[in-house]
Amino acid sequence: MNEQNPPDNSSGPSVILPARKLGIMSRLRNYFFTGLVVAAPIGLTVYITRWFVELIDTWFVPLIPSRYQPDAFLPFDIPGLGLVIAVILLTLLGAFTANFFGRAILNFAERLVDRMPVVRSIYGAIKQIFETVVSQSTTSFRDVGLIEYPRKGIYTIVFVTSQTQAHFGSRYGLDLISVFLPTTPNPTSGFLLYMPREDVTILDMTIEEGAKLIISAGLVEPKKLPVKVPAAQSPANPTEGS
């Protein structure tokens, strides 16, 4: 008896099998998880926002005398009244500390805190955190760039901190710009690099899109394809410092 081998169809056209139909339980499970993904961020956002507003109200609404509170002449509560009061008080505090007299009082109070062993450590850490957050929100990065790192042929995302000629470049005759190379998935840590301007490619991408790309390890990509623009031709390339 001769053993017959099955025909070899490797060189022939591939057969595309139809997609396997899902059962009713699989569809219901997929619908459930889809609804969960849609509803969970909305619900958590509403819950956290409401909790924050109610917390601020419990702190600042009692500062108003009881006879002047809205509950005394309105049949309903006004949510967010404490948040409005907090914004007004913080604005007034900032205006007060911006002048000479307010800064003198603040410096005197900080000198007193520096003499307290435990309190000065807590105050210094909290102050540094808030100063870092506020400074990053007011002086954000300029552009998102692409460089070859850690070797030729491998590219990574960087944030351009300044396209003016760096101090080292102006002193030694080098056309350098400063970039921040963040780490994934924690973009708050990274490396400060001074690179030749022509080695940095500016991407048509916002800072938020670049941050999402780094935090998600490449899973959340920008909606539009980044267009490569040489750093020397970038609109953010100022002539200052030349």
Chain mean pLDDT for the chain:
77
DSSP strand E in the chain: where? 143-148, 155-162, 176-182, 190-196, 201-203, 228-230
Residue type at position 7 = P
CA distance 165 to 120: 39
Q: Cβ distance 232 to 161 under 8 Å?
A: no
Q: And the tokens for 123?
A: 């105050």
Q: What pLDDT shows up at residue 237?
A: 46
Residue with the two structure tokens 């800072």: 207
Residue 54 lies in a domain: no
Q: Is residue 80 part of a domain?
A: no
Residue 104 lies in a domain: no
**In the chain, what percentage of residues exceed pLDDT 90?**
7
Is the sign of the CA dihedral 4, 6, 7, 11 positive or negative?
A: negative
Output the pTM of the full model: 0.47
The total of other beta-carbon atoms located within 10 Å of residue 144's CB is 25
Closest CA to 156 of 179, 137, 140: 179
Structural domain including 200 reads: 143-233
Which residue from 229, 209, 235, 231 is spatially nearest to 220, judged by alpha carbons? 209
Name, in order, each residue with C-beta under 8 angstroms of 83's C-beta and a sequence gap of 6 or more.
Answer: 53, 56, 57, 60
Tokens (6 digits) for 175: 């056309």
Residues 149, 184: contact at Cβ < 8 Å? no
pLDDT value, residue 37: 83
Measure CA 188 to chain center: 9
Q: What is the mean pLDDT of residues 93-110?
A: 86
Report yes or no on 86 lying in a domain: no
Q: Is residue 78 part of a domain?
A: no
Q: Is residue 154 part of a domain?
A: yes
Q: pLDDT tens-digit profile of 5-43?
A: 555 554 555 555 565 677 788 888 888 888 888 888 889
Question: Does the residue 197 lie in any domain?
Answer: yes
Rounded CA-CA distance 239/18 in Å is 60
Counting the structural domains of the chain, the total is 1
179 within a domain of the structure (yes/no)? yes
pLDDT of residue 163: 61
